[in-house]
Chain A
Amino acid sequence: MSSSKSNKIVKLESSDNKTFEVEEAVAVQSETLKNMVDDGCANDTIPLPNVNGKILEMVLGWCKKHVDETVTGDELNKYEADFLDLDQADLYGLLMAANFLNVKGLLDRVLQRVADMIKGKKPEEIRRIFNIKNDFTPEEEEEIRLENAWAFD
């Protein structure tokens, strides 16, 4: 019958109805998709309602690069480093997608990038970086600050 290396195509549909077709070897970089393939649920188009087309294309690009045997170690390093040169909205979309699709290497990198943005920063700085509104009342803020004062030098 068929050879041991599957030439199967996996079809994916993003939240904004864009379809993508990739080889199974690419798709299974995602543990989530791998589980579906293993369970025999990957024969029809798989809908991904929480990943939009732009982000899905990025994730699949990453996966493709990582199964491409012609890519050298150095090229891959550079690719990975440049990959996260994104604006914040895309970065977070990527994080959510990598988390949902469980693409380990990608998830690790994105998590580390965002964690590095937070490390050592005060709450006000974190709000600035992530454009977060301070919805605390002054009393609430003071109460929470006091009850957690033990954690800081």
Chain B
Amino acid sequence: MEEAEAERTWNRETIPKVLRIVSTRLPQRDLISLLLVSPWLHRTLLSYPSLWLVLDLCEMGNAGNRLVAAISLPRYHHVKQIKLEFAQDIEDKHLELLKSKCSDSLQNLESLNLNGCQKISDKGIEAITSACPILKIFTIYWNVRITDMGMEHLVKNCKHVTDLNLSGCKNISDKSLQLVAENYPKLESLNLTRCIKLTDHGLLQIVFKCSFLQSLNLYALSGFTDEAYKKISLLAHLKFLDLCGAQNLSDEGLSCMAKCANLVSLNLTWCVRVTDAGVIAIAQGCTSLEFLSLFGIIGVTDECLEALSRSCSNTITTLDVNGCIGIKRRSRDELLHLFPYLKCFKVHS
């Protein structure tokens, strides 16, 4: 009798209590395996909504069908984050199905990751965004199908976006930037890597209207000029700026950016027109700098490193001066002498 009682307590109380605490450490697959173990575990775990706020289908095949099956389950009715990065077989029709069958479950969605979901088009964006009004983070890296139309749907349906990643979405034009600027004045993070259709006109819209931007990624965009670069100085909250490949950026343009006093990370890889003058201006203005790449810039000399060392020697932990043949003293030891907290010497490969 006592043994039966002990077994009951173990199965119905102890194990659910213990494993409920452990469940916060478990990846999705293992967490769901626990649901299949016993009815007591099943019931206990389902009674903790905080365990079911994230849905992770990254890299899974047949992801579209899996997504619909998962979202149909009551425990995901308050899902906050959906991750579909490099998921395969997910198409517009799945997102349309979600909208028609499960839109109630997406009302709390704050973060949607469609990175690498190359089959999704503007239609899919229209469907999914119409179901998640409070979306804050939207990332759809490497999708060449989406156009400005997709962005029209996004800004119409989701008024609270703070993080937008359009890296590799080559068909996006200045029109999208205008839409973003007009609708997201509180935008904090914007990634436009390789969106090659963009021009100064679009970028200027952003810098004039998105004054709370903290992170701006313009990697591999060589079409901008000083006309837009100079105005980046308006972004007083900017912490992260990636200008890799900004071949038109001059010292004058870069000097203006020294007004972004909160800058922590600056990538000037292949900014081939830059010389000491620009970097010295940055050194004087951006005294919290931790990450700096000057990779491939032949016009900078030891002088700019000395200036950087005077103002940022306490903060710089990453400095890439590979290919900077104008700098004579750039061995590991020489760099450590100037920047004692340096940990990383190579950013660009």
Interface flag for B1 (CB, 8 Å): no
Is the Cβ of B39 less than 8 Å from the Cβ of A114?
A: no
Is the Cβ of A123 less than 8 Å from the Cβ of B36?
A: yes
Chain A residue nearest in CB terms to B56: A151
| Majority SS at the chain B contact face | helix
Q: Cα distance A95–B10 when bound, in Å?
A: 15
Chain A residue nearest in CB terms to B7: A133
Q: Cα distance A81–B71 when bound, in Å?
A: 41
Contacts of A152 in B (CB 8 A): 29, 32
Interface flag for B262 (CB, 8 Å): no
Listed stretches B20-28, B218-226, B285-293; interface member: B20-28
Interface residues of B in 1-22 (CB under 8 A from A): 7, 10-11, 14-15, 17-19, 21-22
Interchain CB contact (< 8 A) of B15 among A121, A123, A130? A130
List 27 A-B residue pairs with CB atoms under 8 Å apart, sorted by A's residue number: A111-B22, A114-B18, A115-B30, A119-B26, A119-B27, A122-B33, A123-B33, A123-B34, A126-B33, A127-B38, A130-B15, A131-B10, A132-B11, A132-B37, A132-B38, A132-B41, A133-B11, A133-B38, A134-B38, A135-B38, A144-B35, A144-B42, A145-B36, A148-B36, A150-B65, A150-B66, A153-B61
Is the Cβ of A114 less than 8 Å from the Cβ of B35?
A: no
Q: Cα distance A4–B112 when bound, in Å?
A: 51
How many pairs of A and B residues are in contact by the CB < 8 Å rule? Answer: 89
Q: Cα distance A63–B17 when bound, in Å?
A: 24
Q: Cα distance A136–B41 when bound, in Å?
A: 11
Interchain CB contact (< 8 A) of B29 among A95, A126, A132, A151? A151
Q: Cα distance A149–B70 when bound, in Å?
A: 9
Interchain CB contact (< 8 A) of A118 among B34, B35, B67? B34
Identify the B interface with A (CB < 8 A).
Answer: 7, 10-11, 14-15, 17-19, 21-22, 24-30, 32-42, 60-61, 65-67, 69-70, 73
Contacts of B26 in A (CB 8 A): 115, 118-119
Interchain CB contact (< 8 A) of B69 among A111, A136, A150, A153? A150
Q: Cα distance A141–B41 when bound, in Å?
A: 13
Contacts of A145 in B (CB 8 A): 36
Is the Cβ of B30 less than 8 Å from the Cβ of A118?
A: yes
Contacts of A37 in B (CB 8 A): none
Q: How many residues of A contact B (CB 8 A)?
A: 34
B210 to chain A, nearest CB (A): 38
Identify the A interface with B (CB < 8 A).
Answer: 92, 95-96, 99, 111-112, 114-115, 118-123, 126-127, 130-136, 140-141, 144-145, 147-153
Which 7 residue pairs of A and B lie closest in terms of their CB atoms, listed nearest first?
A150-B66, A123-B36, A150-B69, A115-B25, A151-B32, A92-B18, A114-B22
Identify which of A118, A133, A151 gathers the most chain B CB atoms within 10 Å of its CB.
A151
Chain A residue nearest in CB terms to B68: A150
Contacts of A150 in B (CB 8 A): 65-67, 69-70
A44 to chain B, nearest CB (A): 28
A135 to chain B, nearest CB (A): 5
Is the Cβ of A119 less than 8 Å from the Cβ of B39?
A: no
B342 to chain A, nearest CB (A): 25
Contacts of B29 in A (CB 8 A): 151-152
B60 to chain A, nearest CB (A): 7
Q: Cα distance A74–B286 when bound, in Å?
A: 41
Is the Cβ of A92 less than 8 Å from the Cβ of B14?
A: yes
Contacts of B7 in A (CB 8 A): 133
A143 to chain B, nearest CB (A): 11
B66 to chain A, nearest CB (A): 4
A69 to chain B, nearest CB (A): 28
Q: Cα distance A130–B32 when bound, in Å?
A: 16
Is the Cβ of B11 less than 8 Å from the Cβ of A135?
A: yes
Contacts of A95 in B (CB 8 A): 18, 21-22
Q: Cα distance A114–B25 when bound, in Å?
A: 9
A40 to chain B, nearest CB (A): 29
- Given A127-B38, A147-B73, answer yes or no on A119-B18 (Cβ-Cβ < 8 Å): no
